[in-house]
Structure 1
Amino acid sequence: MRKMLRILCAVTVLVIALDHTVAESQVDLHLKISHLESRLNMLTQRVQQDEEMLRQCRDQEERVSSLQRHVDTALENKSHEIRDVIEKVQQWSKDAISKPNGRFARSSDPTEVAFTAKLTHELNDVPIHTTIIFDYLVHYTGSTSTYDVSTGVFTCPTSGLYLFSVFIESHTVNTEATVTLKMEGTPYMSVVSERSDDGEDDTGGNVCLLTVNKGERVWVETYDNDKQSFWLGFTTFSGVLIHPH
């Protein structure tokens, strides 16, 4: 009987210990499950964020691709426009040269001598005794231009009486612009443009009749002041044969 009691007690203790162990295992299992669920939620949120970022990147790529297509189309259209303009300018140049009354009228008559040249850019800090180079021919007649846009010098092709005009406009508030018309180094007339003020134009001009022999040179030169400046468009040099000798 005692032996049975001892066995029952041992079994009871074992059952109690087993229940305790199972309970602890269940608690530990619940904690692990809860931890895994928390990790799973975090991973799910991260995946969702990554998917959203990927979607935004794809949207941006599509916008960039669309913009690139628009730019390519615009550039292609613009290149066609530029080619059309170039072709029109080339045709206009051919027409102007071939027509007697064009901007650059061709003629074999030596008595038809005339030119007008102008500045297409500002000249600044021009020293004294410097030849002004009017770099663009607005008009000339004759088989070739007798005014050289690279030197600023007119070389007389036909002896006779010539009318020359010079107009200048200063582009500084510090120094007035002063030039003289010279033939073979001798001054014949002068032009002055006072110092400019903001919002005001002060163009100076003069004309002169000169008898010029074939081969003699005429040009416009600064004098009196250093560091002169000249405004584009308003600064011109013209000459025309009035009567040949």
Structure 2
Amino acid sequence: MINSTQKQRFGSIKYIKTQTGIIDPNVLRNNRVIMGLENDPRADIFRVLRTNVLKQLRHNNWNSFAITSATPDAGKTFISVNLAIAIAMEEDQNVLIVDADLRRPSVGQTLGLQYDFGLIDCLTRELSLYDACISSGIERLLVLPGRNFNKNPSELVSSRKMLDLINEIKSRYKSGIIIFDLPPLFAADNAMLLMPYVDAALLVIEDGKNTSDELQQSMYILEETNLLGLVLNKSRRPLLTHQYGYTYETG
């Protein structure tokens, strides 16, 4: 576990001034953060997903990717958090997860973290990246949490400040893996505005809810994006392989 006196490094950066989180196993269990719990057999699903995602990232020399969904409540943050922890569990593999869903930020809440600042403060208050990030309490996992933004975020997402912040994140954390938790594709245009600034994307589909038309429309939206694969969430069917990439089924 990370504490405030430790001098942890993420890439070439010391983040000893970063806010420090404390992990509560009960919160993780209630929020289905499988990878944060010991000896949970369901964790193998995310180990397989980690292996295939990292294989593609390393093969293409990429270090950033987005996770999004077609529609709300498909479980994209559940996937983002568990996959981020799974990657951080690899030796010498640092991970930064950025909650870029300005309408419904939930990464910090899912991890049970308490924090005063987040991504929105970097954009509206010119808070430094150092002060906005929080060490998660999980080794090698750093979080740039989100906070509610009551105004329409589209203009902010497409602003020069956002572009500069993303460039700073990618520059400072280029030796680690950066995961952007984005809004659903159909909820607003925010995900589409941010997608060009990441190397690739992972698409979460909710089994039994998302239709074939929604899947096709999602693939059309992402046609110029490097697609790492599809995650079929909330499914009880056997594991499948989809023509667009690996499909993983989670509970």
Q: Same fold (TM over 0.5)?
A: no
| Structure with a larger share of its residues in strand | 1
TM range (shorter): under 0.3
Q: Report the TM-score, using the length of structure 2 for normalisation.
A: 0.22
Q: Report the TM-score, using the length of structure 1 for normalisation.
A: 0.22
Larger Rg: 1
